[in-house]
């Protein structure tokens, strides 16, 4: 897709975006864009399989197995993992780490990059026709990829070279940051390629919309319950105006909505067994989503601290995750760090003070 600009033409293709990034001389730029290219091409093929719905023989079948973290696997989970591993084996990736595999796979020891991936996020929604996707994080290799393959993945999120996700919905889209803004590319069937649809996204700094799974209310810590209560009280509580609540149960779909129109997403730790440290995976879910959000002017935390500052101690480490419009993410952190000033405990703050909208 191209648009006129004076006497010349501006190329809005993904390839042109890649070329501009390589021209910046950023570290490993050529290797990063080649890896994203392979992921994007595989995503297009995977989108076609998903579009077949139950007509596809591996669409929603359960094979009775679980991934490395104990979650039930679908046939399409395994297929997606196999396809992405095969694709990046042709490129500059030395190490491949996936939600579906217990340990990183050594692809080729002398290559430059480590790829962490959730091959099919939201796969529990496969048979309900809700948007699902692929989340990825690209990092440089640290140390010896053979002797210590985990080291390259146990880095702060700020050390990511690139991050993104593919979303398979009404459109097949690639949401991407190469470290200089977040951009959305839509796959054009007419053009046969990804074309820039939304450059340099900027999340609105404040919001009247939040996403959380309210069915877990009884399991939340008090700070989360009070935040939720204040939002749904609208004008009767410390918040002014009406709030809308959303919950799709697909991380890529929630992130895509927030990137496009603002909002806040909360997946906190809670008191259920296995949820005390959160549920989302730091390395290949929270880190890449947080990079995309921050590059779009938003914020992402573990409810208090920035997610991109977090360093994993194991590949499949879980974390709480809050992200979205900066003012709302900061407000949620204050509910955790300054509980004595929450409106329900100090009614004066419902009229003026820390939590006044």
User: Which residue ranges form the domains of the chain, and what is each CATH number?
Assistant: 2-198 (3.30.540.10), 209-350 (3.40.190.80)
Q: Rounded to an integer, what distance in angstroms lies between the CA atom of residue 141 and that of residue 134?
A: 22
- Sign of the torsion formed by the C-alpha atoms of 117, 119, 123 and 129: positive
Do residues 66 and 72 lie in contact, with contact meaning Cβ atoms separated by under 8 Å?
Answer: yes
Tens of pLDDT along the chain (357 residues) come to 333 333 356 789 999 999 999 999 999 999 999 999 999 999 999 999 998 877 765 555 555 565 656 566 778 899 999 999 999 999 999 999 999 999 999 999 999 999 999 999 988 888 888 999 999 999 999 999 999 999 999 999 999 999 999 999 999 999 999 999 999 999 999 999 999 999 999 999 988 999 999 999 999 999 999 999 999 986 666 677 789 999 999 999 999 999 999 999 999 999 999 999 999 999 999 999 999 999 999 999 999 999 999 999 999 999 999 999 999 999 999 999 986 665 444 544 444 344 444
3-state secondary structure the chain: CEEEECCEEEECEHHHHHHHHHHCCCCCHHHHHHHHHHHHHHHHHHHHHHHCHHHCCCCCCEEEEECCCCCEEEHHHHHHHHHHHHHHCCCCEEEEEECCCCCCEECCCCCCEEEEEEEEECHHHHHHCCCEEEEEEEEECCCCCCCCCCCCCCCCHHHCCEEEEEEECCCEEEEEECCCCEEEEEEECCCCEEEEEECCCCCCCCCCEEECCHHHHHHCCHHHHHHHHHHHHHHHCCCCCCCEEECCCCHHHHHHHHHHHCCEEEECCCCCCCCECECEEHHHHHHHHHHHHHHCCCEEECCCCEHHHCCCCCCCCEECEEEECHHHHHHHHHHHHCHHHCCCCCHHHHCCCCCCC
């Amino acid at each position: 897709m191209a648009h006129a600009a004076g006497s010349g033409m501006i190329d809005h293709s993904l390839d042109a975006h890649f070329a501009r990034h390589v021209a910046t001389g950023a570290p490993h730029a050529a290797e990063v864009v080649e890896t994203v290219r392979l992921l994007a091409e595989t995503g297009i093929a995977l989108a076609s399989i998903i579009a077949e719905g139950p007509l596809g023989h591996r669409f929603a079948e359960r094979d009775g197995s679980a991934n490395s973290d104990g979650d039930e696997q679908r046939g399409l989970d395994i297929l997606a993992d196999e396809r992405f591993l095969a694709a990046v084996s042709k490129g500059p990736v030395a190490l491949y780490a996936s939600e579906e595999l217990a340990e990183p796979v050594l692809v080729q020891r002398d290559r430059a990059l480590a790829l962490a991936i959730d091959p099919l996020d939201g796969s529990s929604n496969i048979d309900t026709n809700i948007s699902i996707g692929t989340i990825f994080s690209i990092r440089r290799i640290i140390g010896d990829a053979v002797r210590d393959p985990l080291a390259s993945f146990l880095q702060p999120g700020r050390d990511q070279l690139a991050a993104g996700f593919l979303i398979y919905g009404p459109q097949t889209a690639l949401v991407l940051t190469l470290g200089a803004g977040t951009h959305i590319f839509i796959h054009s069937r007419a053009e046969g390629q990804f074309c820039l649809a939304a450059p340099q996204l900027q999340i609105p700094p404040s919001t009247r919309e939040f996403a959380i799974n309210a069915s877990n209310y009884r399991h939340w810590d008090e700070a989360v319950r009070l935040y939720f209560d204040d939002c749904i009280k609208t004008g009767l509580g410390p918040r002014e105006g009406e709030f809308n609540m959303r919950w799709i149960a697909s991380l890529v779909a929630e992130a895509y909505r927030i990137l496009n129109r603002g909002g806040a997403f909360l997946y906190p730790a809670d008191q259920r067994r296995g949820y005390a440290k959160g549920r989302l995976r730091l390395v290949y879910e929270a880190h890449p989503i947080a990079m995309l959000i921050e590059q779009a002017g938003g914020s992402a935390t573990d409810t208090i601290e920035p997610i991109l500052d977090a360093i994993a101690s194991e590949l499949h480490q879980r974390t709480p995750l809050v992200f979205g419009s900066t003012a709302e993410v900061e407000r949620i952190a204050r509910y955790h760090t300054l509980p004595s000033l929450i409106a329900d405990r100090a009614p004066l703050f419902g009229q003026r003070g820390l939590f006044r909208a």
